[in-house]
Amino acid sequence: MAGVSVRPRAALAPVSVATWDELLAGEELAHLTTEPAREGRTAPVPDSLRPAVREALARRGIEELYAHQAEAYGAAGSGGNIIVTTGTASGKTLAFNLPVLDALDADRHARALYLYPTKALAQDQARSLTELGVASVRAAIYDGDTPTERRRQIRGWANLVLTNPDMLHVGVLPRHDLWGDFLHNLRFVVVDEAHVYRGVFGSHVANVLRRLRRLARIYGSEPQFLLASATIANAGELARALTGEEATIVEDDASPRAERTVALWNPPLLDAELGLRASALGEASRLLADLAGRGLRTICFAKSRKSAELIHRFACDRLDAATAARLAPYRAGYTPQQRREIERRLVEGDLLGVTSTDALELGIDIGDLDCAISVGFPGTVASLRQQWGRAGRRGHGLAILVASEDALDQYFMREPRALLERRVEAAILDHANPRVLDGHVAAAAFEAPVDEADAATLGAEALERAPHVPELRRTPRGWVWAGKEAPAARVPLRSTSPDAFLVVDASSGDVLGLAEQERAYSTVHQGAVYLHLGRQYLVRELDLQARRALVEPFDGDWYTQAKKETETAIEEPLRVERRLGLELSFGRVSVTEQVVAYQKKAVADGATLDTVPLELPPTTFDTEAVWFVPRPHQLEGLEAMPLLLSSLHAAEHSLISLLPLWAMCDRWDIGGLSTNLHLDTGAPTVFVYDGHAGGVGIAARGFEQFEGWVADTVRLLDGCPCERGCPSCVQSPKCGNLNEFLDKAGALTLLTRMSNSG
Ligand SMILES: [Zn+2]
Ligand SMILES: [Zn+2]
């Protein structure tokens, strides 16, 4: 349980800064800063804490708490919901465990439910709860791996059940009759890693939690929600969006922190005109080899398994055999025993360097390291901080971000304050998206008739949707389920379309995941290279009838990019405001896409190897968009074609590349369209839309933060050293036009004029 003990850590082998000083002297260093050490602020263990819990803490050497842990305990004690949003390794776990353990010890009937996004995390938590050894606490994991014969026993015996949202959704709530006693006595619901529940997944989980609240109420309980999240801009909003209730924010981090050096590392520019840079993998392997060669324990996070393997191999090549033998890759699928073995070897200093995909960051707790290298921005500041949080727990640490050529990475290299000081990134979700909500209204009606009173837990929107959900029937008792099987099983939590395509590994028969209908044709068309948990697959066949993509493991050195034609139609503007000198709109649009071809591109340099035509039907989906029509004076001098289109198109791409900084999503979650003449507006128009049917709040966030978003984009374009546009500013890896018609200077002119009108 990291960060629990307030005793100074034993064996504080001080790390000498001089050991890496000379390493950080090259021209690649884009920014260097030192985050100062911080003294911890402690508070006494509260007198009200039960003796059994107090003794358990004492056995672990904990005689005091951090101030924020005591604050969380106090806030939970007064009966409300809380969200703890302090830094990595700040003892968040103890903050929510204390009130729970206390309550379970005081009342032998009381029950608690812990939700974890991954099985590995649930296992880690179960282990540390067991190690804590409070006799009255009977913790058990209940997930897809739990044998049927054990399940009954757990429901009856355990007073602390750890599970995941999927199991709660299909295994627990629909069978609430089996959980009656548990629900009746449910006092606490813990939602750890709450920032993970965003976008489509978060929108579903928000509904699952509302269904849980409703059933608990039916069985006579009102559980308190205790959430823990990485540091984000909108913790209170996230708690409210996820649970439907207010929560007290506990954010004043009182844990001590060692000094940490932060380095932003930009691979050297090889061709300034084209914006071409040296490989981030090569730079990372050099840093890893150098740091490990100096005896510093280092973890390196890469975006894909292939990259992690290459970094490991390149680093080994740079070292003598004895040192190279002390580097290891860290892979998905390791058992808890194997993970602990790696942890032990690191702690004992037998291992010096570990390379991992960032898909694993949540499941890793490998203790005290000196250095952490992130290769490519992992997508969110929260993830990056989580990766960096591994460095320097035993003394002065070093955290490095090695930039990829991606626009957001390059923006951070030039605007380090946007990464290190501003907290703008907000986790967003929308439980009321009808594409998400309808399935949960059906599931709720299956669980118990839905009537007006349920608006208090399920939300008013659920009642509004009920008449639109097929297979629901209105009865005097409320809306009831009139279909056959339990509807929850038909509602996947990671997709907004119930008719998503299954992605199946033909070599093993395993289902790897789902591709939403509106994206299947561009991501899993025949011949596409598909990335899953950092591994590459080649799509052998896309079966439109069976709604299935058959893939096989793939080791080639090319990737694919779909060429598609896109149209948007404005269905309904919801908000129209005068912003930045023009009319800015947010509303509902329908998007029609047709994938017409794909290109094979070399991993090494992005060169086009082949273009293959495809014959696929068009798909249409409804979503939310933000759009604007520039005023004539903002387009002055850009009116000629194709300059006009190229300027709008480049502006659209660069805007999309920076929206994830504000909206905590992936650029693949966002779509765009720019046109010199749109049928609905009758004018040149730029659309940025939510890539998920129904929308999950991404475009809405762009509308709210438009001024800051545009200002960031101006800085991105203005600062990029390329001459005419490059992958680090206006080119997009997912452009349906394959990055044709892009004018960087025109986009900069337009966006600067807009920004100046604000
Ligand atoms: Zn550029
Ligand atoms: Zn494009």
pLDDT tens column, 444-499:
999 999 999 999 999 999 999 999 999 999 999 999 999 988 999 989 898 777 67
Q: How far apart are CA 441 and CA 446, in angstroms?
A: 9
Ligand 1: distance of its center to the CA of 409 in Å? Answer: 12
Confidence class for position 2, pLDDT limits 50, 70, 90: very low
Ligand 2: distance of its center to the CA of 416 in Å? Answer: 27
The whole-number pLDDT of residue 9 equals: 38
Sign of CA dihedral 617, 618, 623, 626: positive
User: Quick one: tokens of 14?
Assistant: 């001080």
Nearest bound ligand to the CA of residue 672: 2
Ligand 2: distance of its center to the CA of 679 in Å? Answer: 19
The whole-number pLDDT of residue 5 equals: 45
Nearest bound ligand to the CA of residue 739: 2
Q: What percent of the chain has pLDDT over 70?
A: 95
The whole-number pLDDT of residue 16 equals: 58
Ligand 1: distance of its center to the CA of 406 in Å? Answer: 10
pLDDT tens column, 634-646:
999 999 999 999 9
Ligand 1: distance of its center to the CA of 741 in Å? Answer: 15
Nearest bound ligand to the CA of residue 745: 1
Q: Is the pLDDT of residue 527 over 70?
A: yes
Q: How far apart are CA 249 and CA 265, in angstroms?
A: 34
Q: How far apart are CA 670 and CA 120, in angstroms?
A: 30
Nearest bound ligand to the CA of residue 742: 2
509, burial (CB in 10 Å: exposed 0-12, middle 13-18, buried 19+): exposed
* Those residues with Cβ within 8 angstroms of residue 687's Cβ, 6 or more apart along the chain or in another chain: 568, 589, 625, 626, 627, 652, 672, 673, 674
The whole-number pLDDT of residue 168 equals: 97
Q: How far apart are CA 619 and CA 517, in angstroms?
A: 8
Q: Which helix (H) or strand (E) holds 1?
A: none
The SS3 of residue 355 is strand
The whole-number pLDDT of residue 363 equals: 52
* Those residues with Cβ within 8 angstroms of residue 76's Cβ, 6 or more apart along the chain or in another chain: 82, 96, 98, 99, 188, 224, 226
Q: How far apart are CA 210 and CA 442, in angstroms?
A: 13
392-406, 572-586, 636-650: the lowest-pLDDT one: 392-406
Question: What number is the average pLDDT over the span 656-661?
Answer: 95
Ligand 1: distance of its center to the CA of 621 in Å? Answer: 32
159-163, 585-589, 754-758: the lowest-pLDDT one: 754-758
Smallest Cα–Cα separation from 161: which of 209, 125, 206, 207? 125
Nearest bound ligand to the CA of residue 405: 1
Nearest bound ligand to the CA of residue 652: 2
Q: Which residues surround ligand 2, an ion (CB under 5 A)?
A: 735, 737
Q: How many CB atoms lie within 10 A of CB 741?
A: 18
Ligand 2: distance of its center to the CA of 738 in Å? Answer: 7
Ligand 1: distance of its center to the CA of 591 in Å? Answer: 29
Burial profile 210-225: b = 16 or more Cβ within 10 angstroms, e = fewer: bbbbbbbbbbebebbb
Question: What number is the average pLDDT over the span 18-47?
Answer: 90
Q: Which helix (H) or strand (E) holds 395?
A: none
Q: How far apart are CA 226 and CA 194, in angstroms?
A: 10
- Could you give the angle at the alpha carbon of 205 between the alpha carbons of 655 and 174, nearest 5°? 155
CB 571 within 8 A of CB 622: yes
Work out the mean pLDDT of the chain and round it to a whole number.
Answer: 91
Nearest bound ligand to the CA of residue 648: 2
* Those residues with Cβ within 8 angstroms of residue 182's Cβ, 6 or more apart along the chain or in another chain: 111, 113, 155, 161
Q: How far apart are CA 394 and CA 281, in angstroms?
A: 27
* Those residues with Cβ within 8 angstroms of residue 38's Cβ, 6 or more apart along the chain or in another chain: 255, 256, 257
Ligand 2: distance of its center to the CA of 498 in Å? Answer: 28
The whole-number pLDDT of residue 85 equals: 94
Nearest bound ligand to the CA of residue 747: 1
Burial profile 260-269: b = 16 or more Cβ within 10 angstroms, e = fewer: bbbbbbbbeb
pLDDT tens column, 77-88:
999 999 999 988
Nearest bound ligand to the CA of residue 733: 2
The whole-number pLDDT of residue 512 equals: 85
CB 553 within 8 A of CB 535: yes
User: φ and ψ at 577, to 5 degrees?
Assistant: -135, 155
Question: What number is the average pLDDT over the span 416-430?
Answer: 90
Ligand 1: distance of its center to the CA of 689 in Å? Answer: 23
Q: How many CB atoms lie within 10 A of CB 149?
A: 7
The whole-number pLDDT of residue 202 equals: 95
Q: How far apart are CA 480 and CA 445, in angstroms?
A: 5
Question: What number is the average pLDDT over the span 299-308?
Answer: 86
Ligand 2: distance of its center to the CA of 238 in Å? Answer: 32
Q: Which residue has the tokens 């289109």?
A: 645
Write the Ramachandran bin of 91: left for phi over 0, alpha for psi from -120 to 50, otherwise beta: left
The whole-number pLDDT of residue 606 equals: 74
Ligand 2: distance of its center to the CA of 739 in Å? Answer: 6
pLDDT tens column, 79-133:
999 999 998 888 999 999 999 999 999 999 999 999 999 887 898 899 889 989 9
The SS3 of residue 631 is coil
pLDDT tens column, 670-722:
999 999 999 999 999 999 999 988 999 999 999 999 999 999 999 999 999 99
Q: Is the pLDDT of residue 507 over 50?
A: yes
Ligand 1: distance of its center to the CA of 731 in Å? Answer: 8
The whole-number pLDDT of residue 497 equals: 73
Burial profile 23-51: b = 16 or more Cβ within 10 angstroms, e = fewer: bbeeebebbeeebeeeebebbebbeebbe
Q: Is the pLDDT of residue 511 over 90?
A: no
Q: How far apart are CA 302 and CA 357, in angstroms?
A: 5
Ligand 2: distance of its center to the CA of 582 in Å? Answer: 23
pLDDT tens column, 274-298:
888 999 999 999 999 999 999 999 9
Q: How far apart are CA 288 and CA 406, in angstroms?
A: 22
Q: Which residue has the tokens 């990134």?
A: 425
CB 219 within 8 A of CB 177: no
Ligand 2: distance of its center to the CA of 407 in Å? Answer: 14
Ligand 1: distance of its center to the CA of 722 in Å? Answer: 4
CA atoms within 13 A on the CB side of 673: 23
CB 388 within 8 A of CB 399: yes
Ligand 1: distance of its center to the CA of 639 in Å? Answer: 23
The whole-number pLDDT of residue 621 equals: 92
Ligand 1: distance of its center to the CA of 387 in Å? Answer: 28
Nearest bound ligand to the CA of residue 724: 1
Confidence class for position 188, pLDDT limits 50, 70, 90: very high
* Those residues with Cβ within 8 angstroms of residue 345's Cβ, 6 or more apart along the chain or in another chain: 328, 351
Ligand 2: distance of its center to the CA of 289 in Å? Answer: 39
Alpha helix stretches (DSSP H) within 360-516: 381-388, 407-414, 416-420, 434-447, 455-458, 460-465
- Could you give the angle at the alpha carbon of 625 between the alpha carbons of 644 and 383, nearest 5°? 105
Dihedral angle of Cα 45, 50, 52, 54, to the nearest 10 degrees: 0
Q: Output DSSP code: residue 633.
A: G
Over 185-214, what HEC string results?
CEEEEEECCHHHCCHHHHHHHHHHHHHHHH
Dihedral angle of Cα 366, 368, 374, 377, to the nearest 10 degrees: 80
The SS3 of residue 152 is helix
Q: Is the pLDDT of residue 134 over 50?
A: yes
CB 423 within 8 A of CB 234: no
CB 731 within 8 A of CB 725: yes
pLDDT tens column, 203-255:
999 999 999 999 999 999 999 999 999 889 999 999 999 999 999 999 999 99
